[in-house]
Structure 1
Amino acid sequence: MALLLEYLPIIAFFVFYKLADIYVATGVLMVGTVLQILALKLLKQPITTRHWVILAVVMLFGAVTLLLRDDWFIKMKVSVVYVAIALMLLGGLIWKKRSPIQAMMGKDIKLPDTAWSRLTYAWIIFCLALAAVNLYIAEFWSQEAWVNFKVFGILGISLVFTIGTGFYMYHHAIDEETQD
Protein backbone atom coordinates (compact mmCIF):
# COMPACT_ATOMS: atom_id res chain seq x y z
CA MET A 1 0.00 0.00 0.00
CA ALA A 2 2.81 2.41 0.91
CA LEU A 3 4.50 1.70 -2.43
CA LEU A 4 1.29 2.52 -4.31
CA LEU A 5 0.94 5.74 -2.33
CA GLU A 6 4.50 6.62 -3.21
CA TYR A 7 3.86 6.46 -6.95
CA LEU A 8 0.20 7.49 -7.15
CA PRO A 9 0.84 11.22 -7.78
CA ILE A 10 3.25 10.51 -10.65
CA ILE A 11 0.94 7.88 -12.14
CA ALA A 12 -1.95 10.36 -11.98
CA PHE A 13 0.28 13.03 -13.54
CA PHE A 14 1.09 10.73 -16.45
CA VAL A 15 -2.52 9.63 -17.00
CA PHE A 16 -3.85 13.18 -16.97
CA TYR A 17 -1.04 14.37 -19.22
CA LYS A 18 -2.13 11.76 -21.76
CA LEU A 19 -5.83 12.57 -21.29
CA ALA A 20 -5.53 16.36 -21.21
CA ASP A 21 -2.35 18.44 -21.10
CA ILE A 22 0.61 19.40 -18.94
CA TYR A 23 -1.38 21.98 -17.00
CA VAL A 24 -4.18 19.63 -16.00
CA ALA A 25 -1.55 17.02 -15.16
CA THR A 26 0.30 19.57 -13.01
CA GLY A 27 -2.87 20.37 -11.06
CA VAL A 28 -3.51 16.66 -10.58
CA LEU A 29 0.08 16.19 -9.39
CA MET A 30 -0.41 18.95 -6.83
CA VAL A 31 -3.66 17.48 -5.52
CA GLY A 32 -2.23 13.97 -5.62
CA THR A 33 0.81 14.97 -3.59
CA VAL A 34 -1.37 16.58 -0.91
CA LEU A 35 -3.60 13.49 -0.87
CA GLN A 36 -0.50 11.32 -0.56
CA ILE A 37 0.52 13.13 2.64
CA LEU A 38 -3.02 12.91 4.02
CA ALA A 39 -3.23 9.20 3.22
CA LEU A 40 0.11 8.55 4.90
CA LYS A 41 -1.17 10.37 7.99
CA LEU A 42 -4.44 8.43 8.00
CA LEU A 43 -2.61 5.13 7.58
CA LYS A 44 -0.16 6.15 10.32
CA GLN A 45 2.75 5.72 7.92
CA PRO A 46 5.90 7.78 8.45
CA ILE A 47 6.05 11.08 6.59
CA THR A 48 9.70 11.76 5.91
CA THR A 49 11.55 14.97 5.23
CA ARG A 50 11.68 13.84 1.61
CA HIS A 51 7.86 13.80 1.48
CA TRP A 52 7.67 17.34 2.85
CA VAL A 53 10.36 18.63 0.49
CA ILE A 54 8.61 17.07 -2.50
CA LEU A 55 5.26 18.51 -1.38
CA ALA A 56 6.73 22.00 -1.02
CA VAL A 57 8.51 21.88 -4.37
CA VAL A 58 5.49 20.41 -6.18
CA MET A 59 3.21 23.08 -4.74
CA LEU A 60 5.61 25.94 -5.48
CA PHE A 61 6.63 24.91 -8.99
CA GLY A 62 3.15 23.62 -9.81
CA ALA A 63 1.53 26.89 -8.77
CA VAL A 64 3.99 28.95 -10.81
CA THR A 65 3.47 26.63 -13.79
CA LEU A 66 -0.28 27.10 -13.60
CA LEU A 67 -0.19 30.84 -12.89
CA LEU A 68 2.19 31.62 -15.73
CA ARG A 69 0.97 28.81 -18.02
CA ASP A 70 4.62 27.89 -18.55
CA ASP A 71 5.63 24.23 -18.32
CA TRP A 72 9.28 25.16 -17.75
CA PHE A 73 8.67 25.42 -14.01
CA ILE A 74 7.17 21.96 -13.53
CA LYS A 75 9.99 20.55 -15.63
CA MET A 76 12.54 22.22 -13.35
CA LYS A 77 10.88 20.76 -10.25
CA VAL A 78 12.54 17.41 -10.94
CA SER A 79 16.00 18.95 -11.04
CA VAL A 80 15.34 21.06 -7.95
CA VAL A 81 14.28 17.98 -5.97
CA TYR A 82 17.37 16.01 -6.99
CA VAL A 83 19.70 18.93 -6.26
CA ALA A 84 18.01 19.35 -2.86
CA ILE A 85 18.55 15.67 -2.07
CA ALA A 86 22.20 15.93 -3.12
CA LEU A 87 22.68 19.01 -0.94
CA MET A 88 21.03 17.32 2.06
CA LEU A 89 23.33 14.33 1.66
CA LEU A 90 26.39 16.54 1.26
CA GLY A 91 25.33 18.71 4.18
CA GLY A 92 25.08 15.65 6.39
CA LEU A 93 28.60 14.63 5.47
CA ILE A 94 30.03 18.10 6.00
CA TRP A 95 28.21 19.35 9.09
CA LYS A 96 27.29 16.18 10.92
CA LYS A 97 30.43 14.32 9.85
CA ARG A 98 28.24 11.29 9.18
CA SER A 99 26.51 9.88 6.17
CA PRO A 100 22.77 10.62 6.23
CA ILE A 101 22.28 7.26 4.53
CA GLN A 102 24.15 5.65 7.42
CA ALA A 103 21.94 7.52 9.86
CA MET A 104 18.86 6.07 8.16
CA MET A 105 20.08 2.53 7.56
CA GLY A 106 23.03 2.03 9.88
CA LYS A 107 21.02 0.27 12.56
CA ASP A 108 20.05 -2.49 10.15
CA ILE A 109 23.11 -2.67 7.91
CA LYS A 110 26.67 -2.57 9.19
CA LEU A 111 29.23 -1.11 6.80
CA PRO A 112 32.63 0.47 7.39
CA ASP A 113 32.47 4.26 7.62
CA THR A 114 34.40 4.59 4.36
CA ALA A 115 31.78 2.49 2.58
CA TRP A 116 29.00 4.71 3.94
CA SER A 117 30.86 7.80 2.75
CA ARG A 118 31.49 6.38 -0.71
CA LEU A 119 27.87 5.31 -0.95
CA THR A 120 26.72 8.78 0.02
CA TYR A 121 29.02 10.44 -2.52
CA ALA A 122 27.74 8.02 -5.16
CA TRP A 123 24.17 9.08 -4.38
CA ILE A 124 25.15 12.74 -4.48
CA ILE A 125 26.69 12.29 -7.92
CA PHE A 126 23.70 10.23 -9.05
CA CYS A 127 21.22 12.91 -7.94
CA LEU A 128 23.22 15.69 -9.58
CA ALA A 129 23.51 13.65 -12.78
CA LEU A 130 19.74 13.05 -12.84
CA ALA A 131 19.17 16.76 -12.27
CA ALA A 132 21.47 17.60 -15.19
CA VAL A 133 19.92 15.02 -17.52
CA ASN A 134 16.46 16.30 -16.62
CA LEU A 135 17.54 19.86 -17.46
CA TYR A 136 18.90 18.72 -20.79
CA ILE A 137 15.81 16.72 -21.73
CA ALA A 138 13.47 19.46 -20.53
CA GLU A 139 15.30 22.05 -22.60
CA PHE A 140 16.10 20.21 -25.81
CA TRP A 141 13.53 17.44 -26.17
CA SER A 142 9.78 17.59 -26.66
CA GLN A 143 7.36 17.94 -23.78
CA GLU A 144 6.11 14.40 -24.36
CA ALA A 145 9.67 13.03 -24.32
CA TRP A 146 10.27 14.86 -21.04
CA VAL A 147 7.09 13.42 -19.48
CA ASN A 148 8.10 9.92 -20.55
CA PHE A 149 11.59 10.46 -19.13
CA LYS A 150 10.17 11.82 -15.87
CA VAL A 151 7.78 8.92 -15.42
CA PHE A 152 9.66 5.95 -16.87
CA GLY A 153 13.28 6.98 -17.39
CA ILE A 154 13.96 8.28 -13.91
CA LEU A 155 12.15 5.32 -12.37
CA GLY A 156 14.18 2.82 -14.41
CA ILE A 157 17.50 4.55 -13.85
CA SER A 158 16.78 4.86 -10.12
CA LEU A 159 15.85 1.20 -9.88
CA VAL A 160 19.09 0.13 -11.55
CA PHE A 161 21.14 2.46 -9.33
CA THR A 162 19.35 1.23 -6.21
CA ILE A 163 20.07 -2.39 -7.15
CA GLY A 164 23.71 -1.44 -7.69
CA THR A 165 23.69 0.21 -4.27
CA GLY A 166 22.37 -3.01 -2.78
CA PHE A 167 25.19 -5.01 -4.35
CA TYR A 168 27.73 -2.49 -3.08
CA MET A 169 26.30 -2.70 0.43
CA TYR A 170 26.23 -6.49 0.34
CA HIS A 171 29.85 -6.59 -0.80
CA HIS A 172 30.98 -4.27 2.01
CA ALA A 173 28.67 -5.48 4.78
CA ILE A 174 30.27 -6.38 8.07
CA ASP A 175 29.09 -9.68 9.48
CA GLU A 176 28.75 -9.03 13.21
CA GLU A 177 28.63 -12.73 14.07
CA THR A 178 32.09 -13.36 12.62
CA GLN A 179 33.49 -10.33 14.43
CA ASP A 180 32.68 -11.69 17.89
Structure 2
Amino acid sequence: MKLLIDFFPIILFFAAFKLYGIYAATGIAIAATIVQIGYLRWRHGRIEPMQWLSLGVIVLFGGATLIAHNDTFIKWKPTVLYWVMGAVLMGGQLLFRKNLLKSVMGAQMQLPEHAWRVANWSWVGFFAVMGALNLWVAYTYDTDTWVNFKLFGGMGLMVVFVIAQALYLSRFMNTDEAKPE
Protein backbone atom coordinates (compact mmCIF):
# COMPACT_ATOMS: atom_id res chain seq x y z
CA MET A 1 0.00 0.00 0.00
CA LYS A 2 2.83 2.40 0.87
CA LEU A 3 4.38 1.82 -2.55
CA LEU A 4 1.09 2.73 -4.23
CA ILE A 5 0.85 5.93 -2.16
CA ASP A 6 4.47 6.83 -3.03
CA PHE A 7 3.95 6.33 -6.76
CA PHE A 8 0.38 7.69 -6.90
CA PRO A 9 1.33 11.09 -8.44
CA ILE A 10 3.77 9.53 -10.93
CA ILE A 11 1.25 6.96 -12.14
CA LEU A 12 -1.47 9.60 -12.50
CA PHE A 13 0.98 11.90 -14.32
CA PHE A 14 1.82 9.11 -16.76
CA ALA A 15 -1.83 8.17 -17.40
CA ALA A 16 -2.92 11.80 -17.78
CA PHE A 17 -0.05 12.50 -20.16
CA LYS A 18 -1.04 9.59 -22.38
CA LEU A 19 -4.69 10.70 -22.40
CA TYR A 20 -4.55 14.51 -22.27
CA GLY A 21 -0.98 15.77 -22.78
CA ILE A 22 1.76 17.34 -20.71
CA TYR A 23 -0.12 20.33 -19.30
CA ALA A 24 -3.10 18.37 -18.01
CA ALA A 25 -0.69 15.75 -16.64
CA THR A 26 1.27 18.46 -14.85
CA GLY A 27 -1.87 19.86 -13.22
CA ILE A 28 -2.95 16.38 -12.20
CA ALA A 29 0.51 15.64 -10.76
CA ILE A 30 0.33 18.79 -8.64
CA ALA A 31 -3.16 17.92 -7.40
CA ALA A 32 -2.22 14.26 -6.79
CA THR A 33 0.84 15.28 -4.76
CA ILE A 34 -1.27 17.61 -2.63
CA VAL A 35 -3.79 14.79 -2.08
CA GLN A 36 -0.91 12.40 -1.28
CA ILE A 37 0.51 14.77 1.35
CA GLY A 38 -2.97 15.34 2.82
CA TYR A 39 -3.58 11.61 3.05
CA LEU A 40 -0.20 10.95 4.65
CA ARG A 41 -0.78 13.77 7.14
CA TRP A 42 -4.21 12.38 8.01
CA ARG A 43 -3.02 8.76 8.17
CA HIS A 44 0.35 9.17 9.94
CA GLY A 45 0.14 12.61 11.50
CA ARG A 46 3.41 13.79 10.00
CA ILE A 47 5.13 14.27 6.68
CA GLU A 48 8.76 13.39 5.98
CA PRO A 49 11.02 16.30 4.92
CA MET A 50 11.63 14.74 1.50
CA GLN A 51 7.89 14.57 0.91
CA TRP A 52 7.57 18.28 1.71
CA LEU A 53 10.46 18.93 -0.66
CA SER A 54 8.80 16.89 -3.39
CA LEU A 55 5.57 18.84 -2.92
CA GLY A 56 7.42 22.15 -3.11
CA VAL A 57 9.31 21.15 -6.25
CA ILE A 58 6.22 19.88 -8.09
CA VAL A 59 4.24 22.99 -7.18
CA LEU A 60 7.11 25.29 -8.21
CA PHE A 61 8.17 23.55 -11.43
CA GLY A 62 4.70 22.30 -12.33
CA GLY A 63 3.26 25.74 -11.68
CA ALA A 64 5.94 27.33 -13.85
CA THR A 65 5.13 24.79 -16.59
CA LEU A 66 1.45 25.71 -16.50
CA ILE A 67 1.96 29.48 -16.21
CA ALA A 68 4.63 29.70 -18.93
CA HIS A 69 3.03 26.92 -21.00
CA ASN A 70 6.52 25.47 -21.36
CA ASP A 71 7.22 21.82 -20.55
CA THR A 72 10.91 22.48 -19.89
CA PHE A 73 10.14 23.31 -16.26
CA ILE A 74 8.42 20.01 -15.48
CA LYS A 75 11.25 18.14 -17.20
CA TRP A 76 13.69 19.71 -14.73
CA LYS A 77 11.66 18.57 -11.69
CA PRO A 78 13.15 15.04 -11.37
CA THR A 79 16.66 16.41 -11.83
CA VAL A 80 16.16 19.00 -9.11
CA LEU A 81 14.84 16.35 -6.71
CA TYR A 82 17.69 13.95 -7.49
CA TRP A 83 20.33 16.62 -7.11
CA VAL A 84 18.85 18.02 -3.90
CA MET A 85 18.70 14.55 -2.36
CA GLY A 86 22.29 13.88 -3.41
CA ALA A 87 23.42 17.27 -2.12
CA VAL A 88 21.75 16.65 1.24
CA LEU A 89 23.53 13.31 1.63
CA MET A 90 26.84 14.82 0.50
CA GLY A 91 26.42 17.90 2.69
CA GLY A 92 25.65 15.79 5.72
CA GLN A 93 28.82 13.80 5.17
CA LEU A 94 31.18 16.66 4.28
CA LEU A 95 29.86 19.58 6.31
CA PHE A 96 28.47 17.90 9.40
CA ARG A 97 30.45 14.64 9.39
CA LYS A 98 27.12 12.85 9.69
CA ASN A 99 26.04 9.98 7.49
CA LEU A 100 22.37 10.79 6.94
CA LEU A 101 21.73 7.43 5.30
CA LYS A 102 22.88 5.73 8.49
CA SER A 103 20.73 8.12 10.54
CA VAL A 104 17.66 7.08 8.56
CA MET A 105 18.36 3.36 8.14
CA GLY A 106 20.67 2.55 11.05
CA ALA A 107 17.88 1.16 13.19
CA GLN A 108 16.98 -1.39 10.51
CA MET A 109 20.46 -2.74 9.85
CA GLN A 110 23.84 -2.85 11.51
CA LEU A 111 26.78 -2.16 9.21
CA PRO A 112 30.40 -1.16 9.74
CA GLU A 113 31.17 2.51 9.25
CA HIS A 114 33.01 1.81 5.97
CA ALA A 115 29.91 0.15 4.50
CA TRP A 116 27.70 3.08 5.56
CA ARG A 117 30.16 5.50 3.97
CA VAL A 118 30.23 3.53 0.70
CA ALA A 119 26.43 3.30 0.68
CA ASN A 120 26.08 7.04 1.30
CA TRP A 121 28.52 8.00 -1.46
CA SER A 122 26.91 5.46 -3.79
CA TRP A 123 23.56 7.20 -3.34
CA VAL A 124 25.17 10.59 -3.91
CA GLY A 125 26.65 9.30 -7.16
CA PHE A 126 23.42 7.61 -8.19
CA PHE A 127 21.40 10.78 -7.66
CA ALA A 128 23.96 12.85 -9.58
CA VAL A 129 23.89 10.44 -12.53
CA MET A 130 20.08 10.14 -12.50
CA GLY A 131 19.72 13.92 -12.55
CA ALA A 132 22.08 14.24 -15.50
CA LEU A 133 20.46 11.29 -17.29
CA ASN A 134 17.01 12.86 -16.86
CA LEU A 135 18.23 16.08 -18.49
CA TRP A 136 19.92 14.18 -21.30
CA VAL A 137 16.69 12.32 -22.10
CA ALA A 138 14.61 15.50 -21.72
CA TYR A 139 16.77 17.47 -24.15
CA THR A 140 17.65 14.68 -26.58
CA TYR A 141 14.26 13.05 -27.08
CA ASP A 142 10.65 14.12 -27.44
CA THR A 143 8.35 14.60 -24.46
CA ASP A 144 6.66 11.22 -24.91
CA THR A 145 10.01 9.44 -24.65
CA TRP A 146 10.93 11.52 -21.60
CA VAL A 147 7.65 10.61 -19.84
CA ASN A 148 8.23 6.91 -20.58
CA PHE A 149 11.79 7.20 -19.28
CA LYS A 150 10.60 9.04 -16.17
CA LEU A 151 8.25 6.20 -15.25
CA PHE A 152 9.91 3.06 -16.57
CA GLY A 153 13.57 4.01 -17.01
CA GLY A 154 13.89 5.95 -13.76
CA MET A 155 12.11 3.34 -11.68
CA GLY A 156 13.92 0.50 -13.44
CA LEU A 157 17.32 2.04 -12.79
CA MET A 158 16.34 2.68 -9.17
CA VAL A 159 15.37 -0.99 -8.71
CA VAL A 160 18.64 -2.16 -10.29
CA PHE A 161 20.64 0.23 -8.08
CA VAL A 162 18.82 -0.83 -4.90
CA ILE A 163 19.39 -4.51 -5.70
CA ALA A 164 23.07 -3.91 -6.44
CA GLN A 165 23.49 -1.97 -3.23
CA ALA A 166 21.63 -4.62 -1.23
CA LEU A 167 23.97 -7.27 -2.63
CA TYR A 168 27.00 -5.16 -1.67
CA LEU A 169 25.68 -4.39 1.82
CA SER A 170 24.68 -8.01 2.47
CA ARG A 171 28.38 -8.82 2.69
CA PHE A 172 28.57 -6.75 5.86
CA MET A 173 25.35 -7.74 7.58
CA ASN A 174 25.59 -10.02 10.56
CA THR A 175 23.50 -13.10 9.80
CA ASP A 176 23.94 -14.52 13.31
CA GLU A 177 20.95 -13.54 15.39
CA ALA A 178 21.87 -12.19 18.80
CA LYS A 179 23.71 -15.16 20.25
CA PRO A 180 24.14 -15.30 24.01
CA GLU A 181 27.76 -14.83 25.01
Calculate the TM-score normalised by the size of structure 1: 0.95
Which amino acid is 1:107 matched to? Answer: A
CA–CA distance in 2 between the matches of 1:159 and 1:98? Answer: 26
**Deviation of residue 108 (structure 1)?**
2.0
Q: Secondary structure at the match of 2:56?
A: helix
Matches within 5 A, 1:33-112: 33-44=33-44, 46-112=46-112
Which amino acid is 1:124 matched to? Answer: V
- What are the Cα deviations for residues 41-63 of structure 1, in whole angstroms up to 9, with x where unaligned? 12116521110111000000000
CA–CA distance in 1 between the matches of 2:7 and 2:159? Answer: 13
CA–CA distance in 2 between the matches of 1:21 and 1:118? Answer: 41
- What are the Cα deviations for residues 64-108 of structure 1, in whole angstroms up to 9, with x where unaligned? 000000000000011000000000000110123121110011122
CA–CA distance in 1 between the matches of 2:173 and 2:132? Answer: 31
- Quick check: 168-177 or 58-67, which moved more? 168-177
Q: Which residue of structure 1 lines up, in the alignment, with residue 9 of structure 2?
A: 9
Task: Using the aligned pairs only, state the percent identity.
Answer: 36
**Deviation of residue 176 (structure 1)?**
7.0
CA–CA distance in 1 between the matches of 2:106 and 2:177? Answer: 13
Q: Which residue of structure 2 lines up, in the alignment, with residue 26 of structure 1?
A: 26
Q: Which residue of structure 1 lines up, in the alignment, with residue 169 of structure 2?
A: 169
**Deviation of residue 178 (structure 1)?**
6.4
CA–CA distance in 1 between the matches of 2:41 and 2:118? Answer: 34
Any runs of at least 4 consecutive aligned residues in structure 1 with deviations exceeding 4 A, and if so which? none
- Quick check: 62-71 or 169-178, which moved more? 169-178
Matches within 5 A, 1:131-150: 131-150=131-150
CA–CA distance in 2 between the matches of 1:29 and 1:165? Answer: 30
CA–CA distance in 1 between the matches of 2:35 and 2:164? Answer: 32
Q: Which residue of structure 2 lines up, in the alignment, with residue 160 of structure 1?
A: 160
Contiguous gaps of at least 5 residues in structure 1: none
CA 1:170 to 1:46, structure 2 compared with 1: closer, same or farther past 3 Å? Answer: farther
Across the two proteins, how many residue pairs are aligned to each other? 180
Contiguous gaps of at least 5 residues in structure 2: none
Calculate the TM-score normalised by the size of structure 2: 0.94
